[in-house]
Amino acid sequence: MTTKTMEEGEREERRPRRRLIPEEPEDLWQAYNLISVGDNVMAVTVRKILRETASGGRDAQRVKLKLEIIVEILLQVLI
């Protein structure tokens, strides 16, 4: 697996924490196999927000977002 383990530590719940950076699309399959029900999955991304100005022009702003989900159910993926 080419996904790097960047950080390991203990959270308050005494569950291991890992930071993974996928380098190839296949790494997401490996991450899928590591994720369990009850895990929190977090990602940071940047989005470009386009707004129209009063004069009719466009204004762009980059916004950093933190996305976090709690895994409630895992579905089997058939390929």
pLDDT, tens digit, 9 for 90 and up, residues 33-78: 888 898 888 888 999 999 998 898 999 999 999 999 999 988 776 6
Distance, CA of 3 to CA of 74 (rounded, Å): 21
pTM score above 0.85: no
